[in-house]
Structure 1
Amino acid sequence: MITGGVPHYLKEIKKGRSVAWQIDRLCFSKNGLLKEEFDKLYASLYDKPDTHITIIRVLATKWMGVTRS
């Protein structure tokens, strides 16, 4: 799911390694292929992605979501 089935990303999956290891290497390591993907994705989807990114970051800090207030 983290690669969305994109062949370019799928070729980076290493046989015999755990899913956790793959995600850590691809998404969170210093030179991970998907490390900057979050910002790139939102920049490509929206003309002004800052508001959307702020909402996602706030939601990510809460276990059960947030209210409008």
Structure 2
Amino acid sequence: KTALVRFATEERSNSNVKKENWLSVVRFQYSGAPMRNEYRFENPLGFQVTEYRRDQESVQADGEGFRAA
């Protein structure tokens, strides 16, 4: 299974906040393997990410970078 995930990060310094938007392609599976009951509270379906790739968006999600025509 594959999912496309959009997310944002903020890097803060004393005087600035740098916001960046990202896209990730995530491949995942559900293990279905037997597990101890205490682990079921953390990950009840056995969700496992098998591969991912993160790329920075080229245009800001909030509309920055666009100009009115």
TM-score, scaled to structure 2: 0.23
Greater radius of gyration (CA):
2
Task: Answer 1 or 2: higher relative contact order, Cα 8 Å, separation at least 6.
Answer: 2
TM-score between both structures, scaled by the size of structure 1 = 0.23
Q: Which structure shows the higher strand fraction?
A: 2
